[in-house]
Amino acid sequence: MKKNLPPSELARDSRFVRSTIMDAIMDPRNLAMSERDLGSAKLQPGRPAAADRARNLMHGIFTGEIQALEGAGRTTFDFDDDEAPFALKLDMARQCWDESRHVEISVKLGDWMGTEIGEFNEATFLYEAACATDPILRLCGVNRALEGLAIDVFNTMREFGDISGDPILEFCEDWMLADEVTHVKMGSDWLRRLTENDPERRERALEFQRGVDKLFSLGGFRGETEENPIQLARKLRAMAGFSTDEIDEISEISVQAQEDARAMSAGAAPSS
């Protein structure tokens, strides 16, 4: 079997259509949107198009879970035991079991909300974060950045279920959220253990994580203001082992990502 599978070779059937981050960032509608007062972007039941926004996000969670499964699965296979301890691979195998369950739950939530598999396009940037050739970078990208984002997303969706009185959504998101906290802790523990005597490697891994966190902030997708659909879940991130300084840093990265996206969007706009 091939090691270090590139994103282009991920197995998908004909229901799935790929998109790229650049497609989204360079969309000429972004600039027009940014000039409008569309009210809060926070995902809440009383906002316009709330049901379709929630369905779209739920489908994003579904494809994210598939890619998280693929990322953790590749880590059990891509590295020899001298590169990644067997116990780390066991943790990744256990995580695969969790991610598989999350995929199934997400499919059923899609049914519940009226979303078909593949209805929305799929971006593979989550899996791309799981393609680093150093297992520590990969753990930082997947378990700390990606699973950290999952904490923020699941918490937002759980609150949406709570406010809207949807017991199915709230319950499912709460259970998946508990798993994500464990996954983040797993990543933090292995980062500490494997870089105990190698501060340079640890810094490289954390720098990689910052890059991935910026990517996952997606031009304002995540943050702490009314403009961010996904809210940074400070309390749950602290439970997962993030320090206050680390959470502050992610918040700052999110603001920066939003400004970068605005600048790129303005630069891409056709001159009149």
Partner 1 sequence: MSHSISLTPEAFTLVKYDAAELLAIAEAAATSVGVPDDVAISIEVDEALPNPLIASLVDDVDGTLTCWFTGGTFEDPQRQAELQRDTAKVELAAAFLRGRDRLGGGFEGAPPDGEISDRQRAIWDVYTDGRLARQGYRLNQARRRYAYRLQAGFNDVADAEYEQAWVAGAMSWDALLAVEARLADADPRPVSKKPIRRESLRPS
49 sits near partner 1 (criterion: CB under 8 A): yes
Least distance in Å: CB of 113 to partner 1?
5
Looking at 22, 38, 238, 266, which residue binds partner 1 (CB under 8 A)? Answer: 38
Q: Which is nearer to partner 1, 112 or 175 (CB)?
A: 112
Pairing, β 222-223 against β 18-19: unpaired
Distance CA 123, CA 59 (A): 11
- Please name the residues in contact with 56: beta carbons below 8 A apart, sequence gap of 6 or more: 120
Looking at 4, 12, 22, 28, which residue binds partner 1 (CB under 8 A)? Answer: 28
Distance CA 231, CA 31 (A): 23
40 sits near partner 1 (criterion: CB under 8 A): yes
Tokens found for residue 97: 């079991």
Contacts of the segment 51-57: beta carbons below 8 A, 24+ positions apart: 51/113, 53/229, 54/113, 54/157, 54/160, 55/110, 55/113, 55/114, 55/115, 55/119, 56/120, 57/153, 57/156, 57/157, 57/229
Looking at 3, 27, 87, 226, which residue binds partner 1 (CB under 8 A)? Answer: 27
Determine the interface stretch with partner 1 among 63-71, 109-117, 187-195, 202-210 (rule: CB under 8 A).
Answer: 109-117
115 sits near partner 1 (criterion: CB under 8 A): yes
Helix axes 199-217, 167-194, angle to 10 degrees: 150
What DSSP element (H or E) covers 187?
Answer: helix 167-194
Looking at 3, 4, 22, 23, which residue binds partner 1 (CB under 8 A)? Answer: 23
Distance CA 77, CA 81 (A): 10
Determine the interface stretch with partner 1 among 92-100, 115-123, 172-180, 192-200 (rule: CB under 8 A).
Answer: 115-123
Size of the site for partner 1 (CB under 8 A): 40
Nearest to 145 by CA among 62, 60, 216: 216
24 sits near partner 1 (criterion: CB under 8 A): yes
48 sits near partner 1 (criterion: CB under 8 A): yes
Q: Which is nearer to partner 1, 25 or 93 (CB)?
A: 25
Looking at 19, 133, 244, 256, which residue binds partner 1 (CB under 8 A)? Answer: 19
Looking at 83, 104, 116, 248, which residue binds partner 1 (CB under 8 A)? Answer: 116
Determine the interface stretch with partner 1 among 31-39, 128-136, 194-202, 246-254 (rule: CB under 8 A).
Answer: 31-39
55 sits near partner 1 (criterion: CB under 8 A): yes
Distance CA 57, CA 37 (A): 22
Q: Please name every residue paired with 139 in a beta bridge, in sequence order, or none if there are none.
A: none
**Binders of partner 1 among 155-194, rule CB under 8 A?**
164-168
Residues 81 and 98: beta-carbon distance below 8 Å: no
Interface residues with partner 1 (CB under 8 A)?
Answer: 17, 19, 23-24, 27-29, 32-33, 36, 38-40, 45-56, 111-116, 118-121, 164-168
